[in-house]
A and B are shown apart, each in its own frame.
Chain A
Amino acid sequence: MPSPTEPNTDESELWNAFRAGDDIAFGKIARQYYRSLFSYGVKFSRDREFVKDCIQDLFLELWAKRETIGDTGFVKFYLLKSLRRKIHRESLKQPWLSDEDDMDFESENLGENSIEQQIIEIETNEAMLKMLNQQINLLTKRQQEIIYLRFFENLDNESIAQVMSISKQSVANLLYRTIQELKDKL
């Protein structure tokens, strides 16, 4: 995973080509971030097609704004934040999807079986992973989202705070608390 703060030359070339209106370069950039965005998006809505639509819109907006977009350093963070906002907004238009003000963050519905299946595939202590899995379900939505962004996307506390619109201090506290809670189950 290349560090977002030090874009290598290939990356900035790609980015420049995209800003100049090169659709092939744009396709490559979209591809690069697609998996991250989708994985994050489905934590808010189980409707995969809905999430895909949101990502399409998001990229189309990015394309429309290509000439005014600056640095590559913030792309991932910017995209994650925008997607989160978009899914939230779109869900409100469809009240049957979510009638809560707060965003629901949860794992895709894997079901007990498939979690177990995966655990078996990993050669680690089965019972322990099961315990941890239960513990993760007991975490608040916020805690879950924080560890997701920290462990999966490797965002720093500052970025997580901005994506989730909470203070950096809250992120730091919650992250620490979450790790302690999981650690206790080890």
Chain B
Amino acid sequence: MNQYQEYSLEDFVLDARFQNWVRYKRDADNTFWENYLIHNPAQAQEIARAQALLESVYVHYETHLDESEIDFEIQELLSKVRNEKETAFTAVSETKSLTSTWNIFSRSSVFWAAATVVMMLSLGWVYQRYRISDSNYERLTAGKPLHEEENETKTNKVITLSDGSKVTMFPHSKISFPEKFLVEKREVYLSGEASFEVSKDPKRPFLVYANELVTKVLGTSFTINAKDAALKTTVEVKEGKVSVFRQKDFTETKDQKVLKSKGMVLTANQKMVYERETTNMSKTIRDTPEVVDGDDAATFDFVNAPASQVLGDLEDAYQVDIIFDKDLLRGCPVTASLTRQSLFQKLDIICEVIEARYEMLDGQIIVYSKGCKN
């Protein structure tokens, strides 16, 4: 520590250790410099000034660059290098074989079942194998130090990631992930179909890359379903909240606010359909909405209950927005046993009873009624 005692502002700002402290504020450096200040209070002012000077320079020249942008560039670089390598040996045609075997990464991986608070969430991706999805997956994972797991069996295979998250892999699926996740995010790459139970860690979002989409876990639990990679990819949320982005936007948009506006937030029982041709993302309701919270005991038996209350109950149970005129529907009594039906069957019955109709718009359900007072 003594080397710093003769330091003036000029010396501090040029010192690598001091620079690193101001720039990265890492714990070890914090401890060191806080301790130093306690023992050398006379230098406090000089240090504060040096700190401010450096800080201003760091703020001024800060450059935003997403990790995913770097990943993309490195992959492009490596594919160029590999192409060059291949052509050096054999005259390989430009078209890449999409069905080529995949053995770059080690498959022997050891994982630790971390004792974390695990939150249930499951998601499934269905892709057309050996087609675009494979090349996408290959492009995304190339050159990264990732572990790959593949399920070549005919039954589901369960693996545990380093953060305690569990993945149930369906037959013919592949997943790649780092042995240890980054500090700021958890990224996995998927080809095929799998369901996930992700351990809760709000500071480290869980990102699933697949096809042209990136799905980001924001809150609790959810289900994703992506089908038919050639035409459509769909994401379905079972519980909680996720954000879905086009991979292109996700990597190219540096402003978080702008990115937010380009993504789509999905909540429980909502579904997003992405169409490759138009790159259009549209929001609707899942085909088979489920009661959220796994409260299987929930009953929907109503005797002379106002329709407004019935719909309110459904809204709560499925956590779907149902838009209706409360005052109008208060006057519509419903007597029905609706526990066993699906949400849509329930709605059909209710609408039948109260002579209303419903439609879905932008992931919400809208009930049209003229009221029942006559």
Q: What 1/0 mask marks residues of chain B from 1 to 20 whose CB sits below 8 Å from any chain A CB?
A: 00000000110011010011
Complex Cα gap A176–B10 (Å): 8
Q: Could you say which residues of chain A place their CB within 8 Å of the CB of B70?
A: 31, 34-35, 38
Q: A24, A30, A42, A179: which contacts B63 (Cβ < 8 A)?
A: A42
Complex Cα gap A178–B314 (Å): 67
Q: What 1/0 mask marks residues of chain B from 48 to 65 whose CB sits below 8 Å from any chain A CB?
A: 010111111111111111
Complex Cα gap A125–B51 (Å): 11
Q: B19, B51, B65, B80: which contacts A151 (Cβ < 8 A)?
A: B19
> In this complex, what residue of A is CB-closest to B64?
A108
Q: A26, A38, A179: which contacts B65 (Cβ < 8 A)?
A: A38
Q: Could you say which residues of chain B place their CB within 8 Å of the CB of A42?
A: 63
Q: Could you say which residues of chain A place their CB within 8 Å of the CB of B57?
A: 132, 136, 147-148, 151-152, 182
B81 contacts A by Cβ under 8 Å? yes
A124 contacts B by Cβ under 8 Å? yes
Selected interface stretch from A55-63, A74-82, A86-94:
A55-63
* B9–A124 CB distance below 8 A: no
Q: Which B residues have a C-beta under 8 Å from some C-beta of A?
A: 9-10, 13-14, 16, 19-20, 49, 51-65, 70, 73-74, 76-78, 80-82, 84-85, 143-145
- Provide a sorted-by-A list of 18 A–B residue pairs whose CB atoms are within 8 angstroms: A23-B85, A23-B143, A24-B143, A34-B73, A34-B74, A38-B65, A107-B61, A110-B60, A118-B59, A119-B59, A124-B52, A128-B52, A129-B56, A136-B57, A179-B53, A183-B9, A183-B53, A186-B52
Q: Which A residues have a C-beta under 8 Å from some C-beta of B?
A: 1, 21, 23-24, 26-28, 30-31, 34-35, 38-39, 42-43, 52, 55-56, 59-60, 63, 107-108, 110, 115, 118-119, 122, 124-125, 128-129, 132-133, 136, 147-148, 150-152, 154, 176, 179, 182-183, 186
